Amino acid sequence: MLRVSLSEISAALKEGRVSPTELCQRCLSFIKATKFLNAYITIAEDTALKQAEESEERYRRGQILGDLDGIPVAVKDNFNTAGIETTCASNMLKGYIPPYSATVVQKLLDQGAVLLGKTNLDEFAMGSGSTDGIFGPVRNPWSYSRQYREKCVQNSHTENEDSNWLVTGGSSGGSAAAVSSFTCFAALGSDTGGSTRNPAAHCGVVGLKPTYGLISRHGLIPLVNSMDVPGILTRCVDDAAIVLGVLAGHDPKDSTTVQDPFKPFELTSFIDASKLCIGIPKEYHAPGLSSETLALWSKAADLFENAGAKVIEVSLPHTRYSIICYHVLCTAEVASNMARFDGLEYGHRSSMDKSTEVMYAATRREGFNDVVRGRILSGNYFLLKQNYETYFIKAQKVRRLIANDFVNVFRSGIDVLLTPTTLSDTIPYVEFIKEDNRTRSAQDDIFTQAANMAGLPAITVPTALSEKGLPIGLQFIGRAFQEQQLLTVAKWFENQVKFPMIQLQGMMDHGHTVCHHQKSAFFS
């Protein structure tokens, strides 16, 4: 039952085939059973059960709050949740219980959703593996899938079964793992350079990064304010549309949200592909792109073309500067955003208190990991008066060029861009940590980051399994605030590719580990 989609479980709740409490309890016990994935930092068992009971009462009275009523969800641990510890996977905020909830969290709760817990991430969302938080790395559920295990055995370089587990990608790896391993029906991530789409692709789930300004950031502990967007992770595109409908809209507490009212939409299953124009940006044919992913990408293009769509190669010439540009803008905002963590008002405070300055320094040294401190250092360097023009202003100008590339492409008649989400399928943890966080982030965000630079909506759709039996996702980038068009295309694509469901071994409580699924029609 846990493996169905959000809309299916919503229907089951409405029809009384399952009660919110029962559903919540099942999820909670499955979270415990999959604890080794380390997807959750905090399990809010008590409040979740209470919310489920309240939901049950509403169902009993026939007064449900909306489509999310009674549906278990998870939230990345960089969103404030009133009364529930919010850590950002950092010593700095360990034990911090915020007095308010992020607008998106509140909107979920107002719809009757049941908040199961807070999901793991890289410290302050700085990373692309979900490996660099104080609570340890998140394990990709696909490490334990029949699909992967079988291939591993075939390749037979598994001496120790456990050492081969895979990273989820990041930084919203906990949320991706939670959705992928069926412990919740939807999860919130955040997406600054690809932090929602990257782990979604690696975990075989849908990851949506909405247009900047469509969803409130109030209560999201920022990484880069000008690029952060709350992300949505679900099992299918329809579910993402449902959650988007709940979250989108102006928030007076976030001045960067647009005032235009947002109308929730339902996606149609049929599109007239002949009216569709798909752009294939040639610059995304980047070094390091695996031949498998490349092949899949080109197959996907053919799929659209065969359906009658116009598929055109386009150019986004400045995308290649995206990573370096991002490095400057990201670290500068990080340096600024992290300045508030001084140990005075909240969070960690060092016991070294000889003077205010000593206390500041010790607090920040003890509270932040190397990655965060490194970014603060470079960010402050870029913001120095003598460097500001050379780095920050220049990076802003480059950002404008990157954004203009998209404007030009969309102006030329392209509806949606089709690109890879990641260079390849995911890799084992032991491989991943051979490179440092900075190198990894630079590599892994390569296809996702430009959308953040330009503020555009983008979605990754799980497309097929690699030779190793691991998910590969492809990304669609849409016009600003044209989520409906973007998701409609994504849903059509999703229907075509029939991505196989993960077959988890030895994790399901009732032993029915292998389900019968259609074999992927697309990847064969």
Question: x/- site string to another protein, residues 278 to 317, per CB under 8 A?
Answer: ----------------------------------------
Q: Are 206 and 200 in contact (CB under 8 A)?
A: yes
Member of 98, 137, 281, 455 binding another protein (CB under 8 A): 98
Q: Assess 414 for contact with another protein (CB under 8 A).
A: no
Q: Assess 324 for contact with another protein (CB under 8 A).
A: no
Query: Is the Cβ of residue 145 or residue 216 nearer to another protein in the bound state?
Result: 216
Identify the CA nearest to 422 among candidates 404, 440, 435.
Answer: 440
Member of 45, 49, 134, 346 binding another protein (CB under 8 A): 346
Q: Assess 345 for contact with another protein (CB under 8 A).
A: yes
Indicate if 171 belongs to the active site: yes
Query: Is the Cβ of residue 276 or residue 359 nearer to another protein in the bound state?
Result: 359
Angstrom distance (rounded) from CA 176 to CA 37: 11
Angstrom distance (rounded) from CA 233 to CA 175: 7
Other beta carbons within 10 Å of 2: 16
Question: x/- site string to another protein, residues 350 to 369, per CB under 8 A?
Answer: ---xxxxxxxx---------
Query: Is the Cβ of residue 225 or residue 290 nearer to another protein in the bound state?
Result: 225
Minimum gap (Å) between residue 386 Cβ and another protein: 8
Angstrom distance (rounded) from CA 185 to CA 196: 16
Member of 225, 408, 482, 513 binding another protein (CB under 8 A): 225
Q: Assess 384 for contact with another protein (CB under 8 A).
A: yes
Angstrom distance (rounded) from CA 499 to CA 520: 6
Q: Assess 407 for contact with another protein (CB under 8 A).
A: no
Backbone angles phi, psi at 441, to 5 degrees: -60, -40
Q: Assess 339 for contact with another protein (CB under 8 A).
A: yes
Tell me how far CA of residue 276 lies from CA of 270, 410, 493, in angstroms: 12, 12, 12
Which residues in 165-224 contact another protein (CB under 8 A)? 217-222, 224
Which residues in 99-158 contact another protein (CB under 8 A)? 99-100, 102
Tell me how far CA of residue 383 lies from CA of 101, 380, 398, in angstroms: 32, 5, 17
Query: Is the Cβ of residue 363 or residue 448 nearer to another protein in the bound state?
Result: 363
Which residues in 24-83 contact another protein (CB under 8 A)? 79-80
Indicate if 195 belongs to the active site: yes
| Active-site residue, from 7, 19, 76, 322 | 76
Amino acid letter at 189?
A: G
| Active-site residue, from 10, 171, 175, 190 | 171
Q: Tokens standing for 74?
A: 């998870």
Identify the CA nearest to 80 among candidates 111, 56, 101.
Answer: 101
Measured in residues, the chain has a length of 524
* Count of residues of this chain found to bind another protein when the rule CB under 8 A is applied: 49
Which residues in 240-279 contact another protein (CB under 8 A)? 252-256
Q: Give the single-character DSSP code of 166.
A: B
Q: Which residue has the tokens 């930084």?
A: 171
Member of 392, 447, 499, 522 binding another protein (CB under 8 A): 392
Minimum gap (Å) between residue 189 Cβ and another protein: 15
Question: H-helix or E-strand containing 173?
Answer: helix 173-180
Indicate if 498 belongs to the active site: no
Q: Assess 332 for contact with another protein (CB under 8 A).
A: yes
Minimum gap (Å) between residue 389 Cβ and another protein: 12
Q: Are 371 and 437 in contact (CB under 8 A)?
A: yes
Q: Are 235 and 200 in contact (CB under 8 A)?
A: no
Q: Tokens standing for 90?
A: 């950092």
Cis, peptide link before residue 171, omega less than 30° from 0: yes
Tell me how far CA of residue 168 lies from CA of 187, 196, 372, in angstroms: 15, 11, 20
Q: Give the single-character DSSP code of 92.
A: G
Query: Is the Cβ of residue 94 or residue 299 nearer to another protein in the bound state?
Result: 94
| Active-site residue, from 195, 378, 424, 466 | 195
Q: Tokens standing for 182?
A: 């069926």
Residues annotated as catalytic are: 76, 171, 195
> Where on the chain is the footprint of another protein (CB under 8 A)?
79-80, 86, 88, 93, 98-100, 102, 217-222, 224-226, 252-256, 332-333, 335-336, 338-342, 344-346, 353-360, 380, 383-385, 388, 392
